[in-house]
Amino acid sequence: MNRFLLRKICNSAQRFTLSLFSNWNIYGAENIPASGSIIVISNHLSNIDPSIISASLPRPIWFLAKSSLFKNPIARVFLNLYGAFPVNRSTSDISAIQWILDRLKEDQAVVIFPEGKRNYNGLQKADNSFAKLAIKSNTYILPIGITGTENMQYVTRVFNPTGKITIKFGKPFKIISKNEKITKENMNSINESIMMEIAQLLPPKYQGIYKDKSYKEKLSKNKIFQYYHKDMEKLCVE
């Protein structure tokens, strides 16, 4: 079956089940760029998050999935057709990074969970490799805050999503390149600022370590972003 046709069918089915069984709400859809390469970042609460995000975006997405999921031959075929690529979490997976860069060169949307794993107790720090990718890709980043999926851990819950599920899109942003040497310190600063972009889209109980006021103060002083305003056709530093 054609990959894009399968995605269309899956997304339509997911939207149907979300509308039928849950209280599904989307906010900030006007912030989603209709075209061009973009990295979509989100907090990660459940195994069904990729499917929920895919159903909530009006354009096709690609995403990474842990390599162990591809051991099942049936799951492997489905994941490949749906746009997933296996990533080895135990190492710095160069092939996965190159795969992301290749998709971005094709003006695609790639979903990444910067925390690298599910966190049920609130947002945690991102892996430093994400800051490197964000800088190297030189593309826009679309933050998402997702709530309500933390009690649906089994993949089969895509057929029966219940409760209040909320997807909130923030403004796309791009990291300002200052031609500085990338050090561990400034990578940490970039990561923290990026994660705060997700945190401010979440209710306090989901914000985790970024609920701390010191992080918010640090973000307000750290001018490392350019924000994209679609109605202005230019970048505005905020």
Under-50 pLDDT residues of the chain: 231-238
Which tokens sit at 65? 């999935």
The CA distance from 140 to 175, in Å, is 8
**Cα distances (angstroms) measured from residue 207 to each of 172, 193, 198:** 20, 13, 8
Please give the pLDDT value at position 57: 94
User: CA 151, 154, 156, 158 torsion: positive or negative?
Assistant: positive
Phi first, then psi, for residue 149 (nearest 5°) are -100, 0
Structural domains of the chain in order of their starting residue, each with its CATH number: 3-237 (3.40.1130.10)
Return the biggest CA–CA distance within the chain: 51
pLDDT in tens, 142-151: 999 999 999 8
Please give the pLDDT value at position 182: 66
Please give the pLDDT value at position 1: 55
> Which among 191, 128, 153 is positioned nearest to 45, based on CA atoms?
153
Please give the pLDDT value at position 234: 41
- Asked whether the beta carbons of 197 and 142 are under 8 A apart, the reply is no
Model's pTM, two decimal places? 0.87
Please give the pLDDT value at position 236: 35
Please give the pLDDT value at position 149: 94
